[in-house]
A and B are shown apart, each in its own frame.
Chain A
Amino acid sequence: MELHESSFVSLLSNLRSSTLYNELFVAAQEEAQKSNVRLSDLKKCVQSGLVSAGWDKKLRNAVYHIIQSQYKLFKSSPLASPESEKEPIAYILKAQFVWEKKILKSLNSMCTELTVPLARSRSEKDKKDLAARWSELGVDGPAKICSSDLSQIRPVYAPKDFLEVLVGLQNPNSANTGNMGTYDLPWGLIQVSLKVKTLNELRVQYSEMAITHCQTGTDDLPDIPPELFENERSKLGKKVIAANHAPTAREYSKRGCPVSMRADLWCQILGVDLQNVDYLYYEQLKSYVLQHDLLVDSLLYKDVKLTATNDDQYFVFEDFLYQVLLPFSRDSVVLKHFAYNSATPPKSYIRGKLGIEEFAVTYPPNGVIPFHGFAMYVAPLCYLYNDVVRLYYVFRHMYVNYFFRLHSVSSHPQGIVALSLLFEKLLQAEEPELFYHLIQVGCQPLKIAFKWLMRAFSGFLASDQVLLLWDRILAFDSMEILSVLAVAIFSFRKTNLLKVQCMSTAEAVLADLFTLQIVPLLQLSLFSK
């Protein structure tokens, strides 16, 4: 009860500081001034007036989203220090800290090598020039770095480097028996013992995806008569969108979103409801991009060039990506997510003011240093939204709710460590023969699957399949589906994988996943045995 009360109080204070509070207040005042309202039943009239004007829906959604965000901040104990709220396990926190330091060093050394500062203000001419080129930044990049310079810019880290960190995680309190396959010396790469779900638990969690339930994306293909499933499904979808209620949208999306409705459903689930102030805020971020030239811009630019521009599905969205990624790096609202992220935003001081706390700033302003493939978190979303601002806010919500967990060391059940472990354990349990064979030929399965997990499969699957997969992440509010899919892919290519004799052939077998249909694959691996 005590807990409920405290969360209730913070829910109220959250609501009170939202713009919705003021809007409701004004609406209630207007309601009260109507001529047909009698003083005796003022309260009743105002309430029913608000409901009929649709304010109850907005309030319900707001409460739902606040509770969702509080759930992320949920503490094991009210006495826990803020540090242990980010990550309760000391050695994991330390590993994240060491990793961050390594990233900082590599960024600093890149600065020194190239003799460029991390940030500087742009000249008036550059500002004007950049503003004029805003919608076609792909042509010569945000900073107009000469080509020789850009070739020296390299991604700060890639999935492979990050995997090494995770593999190196070792509990100092783990009793060493030296027996392969026991808890302290597992067959897989991840040495941390976290509780991960078993296949049966996952079956229950993803019961909506069972083979007996028709799914959007498989049962509504053009060759299937629409009266079997598609007609009903889209009728229901229209109702759901009209209802504008986040939990309902979430429930509906569990069986996949129809292409035409996905954009709206995702907005409802994530609570993206754009007001004028949001457009203004985006413009503000854009002006920040024009004001300062950051090294991170070049990193993002390079990343887009290396990933999305090379991808025949996404190269058309190159300019879109800059318009999302550059403002994202300036968005200090993103900093809030570090309250529940094990990572800490990098810190720096204004030039010449080293060590003076009043001049301490986070760098980049959003605290997120991009890695090789970061742009791919945005790329699939470009298919959904043609309005850059809407695209921006959806991406920001996706990032602070889900994607940040894919590149920070954490013991969180949704974190990349737990997802990797889930993948290894599921594969061991479901395909023991395959796992054993791959290990025998010196090919740890996680070494192949890790990049899929870290990028949430973006860029590895066909874009429509990525969106169908992300439907499930949003609908079930969990990223465990990523591990399940990775296992499903291994099972699906089992016959070929059992024949490989080295790592490179195994990689070749799993290199091209663009033909895969993820929904039947997931169903096969979750429910067929």
Chain B
Amino acid sequence: MNEKWEKPINCTIKHTVTLSPSSGRATASQGIPFHSGCKAIDVYFPSVINPEASEGGEIIGAVEFQNDYAAFITIRVKTKATDQATKPASSDQDWKTVVNAFKLMPDCHAEMGSQDTFCITRKQFACDLNNVISLRFILQQPSPMWKDFNIHKIKLFKSSGNRKHFALPNWLTESGSSKPRRKELEPGNDLMTKTEMPKVVGVPDIDILSSNLQQMWALAEEAAANQPEQSIGRYEVDGCYDINLLAYT
């Protein structure tokens, strides 16, 4: 799955800040710590303009992180107005909510989802993430059950416009008659025919030979791909299964 978003975007992820009513001042005066159940993480991008933009239109496509007892996540972004922006009334820098209170734990009092790895993709975003200056994760945990909550291993990925689709068989995606499976081999065939080969007496036509071989190869590949999963249930090594003790690793 990871190959869809090859490498994470280069960015600076700040420490998690716990929000409290007396923000800025010390909260120790009361003695009892106040749990606001809300935290924020800021993310800054080194290039102030379009992050990592090289060929126009590249935007943040996915956010991946491992949850640690946060119940909801909200993602907001600050974008820089582009040159084409026609609204002078709005300030050039604006906060936008991209994901609003996405549920990470189905029941905030129960374990489910508390340590899962999540990947929020463009489909869940309210708007496209381009021209982003900074990004803010807002975490919420209304349950008093948990000592602490956070998210870890945050990674942001570019969206690579044409994502690979799963290989659905021809007869499902195409309504018409399906083409032969050896389609991928054609470029190879072309190459062989284009390069002029000197004819040697006694050797059969290379083109025919190679196309036959290709066909055999394709058949072998197909047979290998359709290997039945029925196992013969071997458990010993070379017929030997003499064991003294169990290994602890």
Measured CB to CB, the residues of A under 8 A from B are 2, 5-6, 8-9, 12, 14, 16-19, 21-22, 76-81, 84, 88-90, 101, 104-105, 107-108, 111-112, 117-121, 171, 173-175, 177, 183-184, 192-195, 277, 281, 284-285, 288, 291-292, 330-333, 346-351, 354, 358-363, 365, 411
Contacts and interface: CB of A to CB of B under 8 A. Distances in A.
Interface string B1-21: 110000000000000000000
Given A12-B169, A78-B119, A174-B145, A350 B242 contact: yes
Range, interface on chain B? 35 or more
A117 B243 contact: yes
A119 B232 contact: no
Interface stretch (B53-61, B109-117, B210-218): B109-117
Nearest to A364: B235
A33 to B, nearest CB: 21
Contact of B145 (A184, A277, A354, A363): A184
A19 B228 contact: yes
Given A118-B243, A118-B246, A361-B237, A81 B110 contact: no
Contacts, number: 169
Contact of A350 (B145, B225, B243): B243
21 contacts: A17-B229, A18-B229, A77-B116, A77-B119, A79-B1, A80-B116, A84-B115, A88-B113, A88-B115, A111-B244, A112-B245, A119-B243, A121-B241, A121-B242, A173-B69, A173-B148, A174-B145, A174-B147, A194-B111, A288-B235, A348-B246
A81 B116 CA distance: 10
A358 B237 CA distance: 8
Contacts of A78: 1, 119
Given A120-B242, A292-B236, A348 B117 contact: no
B169 A76 contact: no
B46 interface: no
A168 B246 CA distance: 26
A460 B246 CA distance: 34
A29 to B, nearest CB: 16
B248 to A, nearest CB: 6
B236 A361 contact: yes
Nearest to A111: B245
Contacts of B147: 173-175
B111 A89 contact: yes
A256 B106 CA distance: 33
B249 interface: yes
B107 to A, nearest CB: 5
Nearest to B106: A195
B168 to A, nearest CB: 7
Contacts of A8: 166, 168
B232 to A, nearest CB: 7
A348 B247 contact: yes
Contacts of B30: none
B191 interface: no
A117 B230 contact: no
A431 to B, nearest CB: 23
B231 interface: yes
A485 to B, nearest CB: 24
Contacts of B228: 17-19, 22
Contacts of A193: 109-111, 145
Nearest to A331: B233
B100 to A, nearest CB: 20
Contacts of A359: 237
Nearest to B229: A17
A371 to B, nearest CB: 16
Given A78-B1, A173-B146, A193-B110, A330 B246 contact: no
A348 B243 contact: yes
Contacts of B69: 173
A347 B235 CA distance: 12
Contacts of A363: 243, 246
A19 B225 CA distance: 14
B110 to A, nearest CB: 4
Nearest to A21: B226
B240 interface: yes
**B109, B165, B248 — most chain A CB neighbours (10 Å):** B248
A194 B233 contact: no
Nearest to B148: A173
A361 B112 contact: no
Nearest to B64: A79
A508 to B, nearest CB: 36
Contacts of B85: none
A98 to B, nearest CB: 12
A425 to B, nearest CB: 12
Given A88-B113, A174-B145, 16 more contacts: A19-B228, A21-B226, A78-B1, A84-B116, A88-B116, A104-B248, A111-B245, A171-B146, A173-B68, A173-B148, A195-B106, A330-B233, A330-B235, A346-B247, A350-B241, A354-B247
B167 interface: yes
B243 to A, nearest CB: 4
B111 A411 contact: yes
A16 B145 contact: no
A527 to B, nearest CB: 26
B142 interface: no
A200 to B, nearest CB: 16
A84 B242 contact: no
Contacts of B113: 76, 88
A17 B223 CA distance: 10
Interface string B135-146: 000000001111
A391 B75 CA distance: 55
A17 B226 contact: yes
A65 to B, nearest CB: 13
Contacts of B237: 350, 358-359, 361
A131 to B, nearest CB: 18
Contact of A80 (B117, B232, B234, B246): B117
A215 to B, nearest CB: 33
Given A79-B1, A174-B147, A117 B244 contact: yes
A473 B109 CA distance: 28
A195 B112 contact: yes
Contact of A333 (B148, B233, B244, B247): B233
B227 interface: yes
Contacts of B245: 108, 111-112, 118, 348
Nearest to B116: A76
Nearest to A81: B117
Contacts of A120: 242
A284 B117 contact: no
Nearest to B233: A332
Interface in B101-153: 106-107, 109-119, 143-149
B227 A17 contact: yes
Contacts of B226: 16-17, 21
